[in-house]
Structure 1
Amino acid sequence: MKIEAMKISLEEMHFYAYHGVFPQERCVGNDFVLQLTLWAEVAGSLEHDDLTETISYADVYEVVKAEMAIPSQLLEHVVGRISQRLFEDFPRLSRLSLTLSKRNPPFPGEVRSASFSLEASREG
């Protein structure tokens, strides 16, 4: 068998958090939804039924949850912090794709959400 890619995805993670440019956003909070896909070297888990051969979904979630709890003005900043921490904490991780959406952003007009997406890979 030739393996083309190994991906782990956590879809529609929901958080209530305090990110935003306006002081009221950081006081009142808002709903956020996060989509995350990780590319990682986890081939050992295909042969060995052992958590040490992969990346724990629960551990990834806890990293995201911890970073979402730290208020930031910009979605870009939150996404940057989450990405950096994931690369630091999970050496098997080679690449990621992350989208963070703020539901009902506080500006005039009918907009379901505002989002920022990032695709990044591990350096060298």
Structure 2
Amino acid sequence: MGIIRVNNIVIYTNHGCLEEEAKIGSEYRVDLEIKADLNKSAVTDELKDTVDYVHLNKIAKEEMNVRSKLLEQVAKRIIDRIFSEIEMVEEAEVSISKINPPIGGNVGEVTIVLQETRKS
């Protein structure tokens, strides 16, 4: 089993429960970690035998651009697409951070993390 991480995907979009968040938007950071068998690609040196991190980045960006009130829903959509589109992924973890959230104080970020294992 191996791990691929795609970290610090920065996206400006408009998630949140407040009306102002929908209009103004905020900066978000997405971090992905997937687990898959990377032994074959370590030998073959072929992209077709591994998880393409370009594909992971594309999924994260596309789902982040679909408005939701809660980041949990966005993370779940990202995980569902990873499992649907990339068969060799066994586990996926998605962290989404809202940078400078509007919560009435000096808070650098708020982060949610969802992790799932592929169901047989």
What is the root-mean-square deviation in Å for CA atoms of aligned residues? Answer: 0.8
- Whether the aligned pair in 2 keeps the contact of 1:14 and 1:31 (CA below 8 Å) is yes
Residue 13 (structure 1) aligns with:
9
What residue in structure 1 maps to residue 79 of structure 2? 83
Residue 42 of structure 1: how far off its partner (Å): 2.5
- For the Cα contact (< 8 Å) 1:42–1:92, is it kept in 2? no
Q: CA deviation at 1:101?
A: 0.3
Structure 2 unpaired stretches of 5+: none
Give secondary structure in 2 for the equivalent of 1:114: strand
Matching residue's letter, 2:117 = S
With structure 1 as the length reference, what TM-score do the two structures score? 0.93
Q: What SS class does the counterpart of residue 26 from structure 1 fall into?
A: helix
> What percent of counterpart residues are identical?
28
Deviations 1:73-94, CA, capped at 9 Å, x for gaps: 0011111111111110100000
Which residue is equivalent to 1:103?
Answer: 99
> SS where residue 11 of structure 2 aligns?
strand
Within-5 A mapping of 1:46-61: 46-61=42-57
Q: What letter is aligned with 1:28?
A: I
Q: What secondary structure, in the 3-state scheme, does the structure 2 residue paired with 1:58 have?
A: helix
- Runs ≥4 in structure 1, deviation > 2 angstroms? none
Deviations 1:48-78 (A, max 9, x none): 0111100111111111111011010001111
Number of residue-to-residue matches in the alignment:
120
Normalised to the residue count of structure 2, the TM-score between the two structures is: 0.96
Partner of 2:66: 70
Q: How far is 1:107 from its partner?
A: 1.6
Note the residue ranges of structure 1 that are not aligned, 5 or more in a row: none
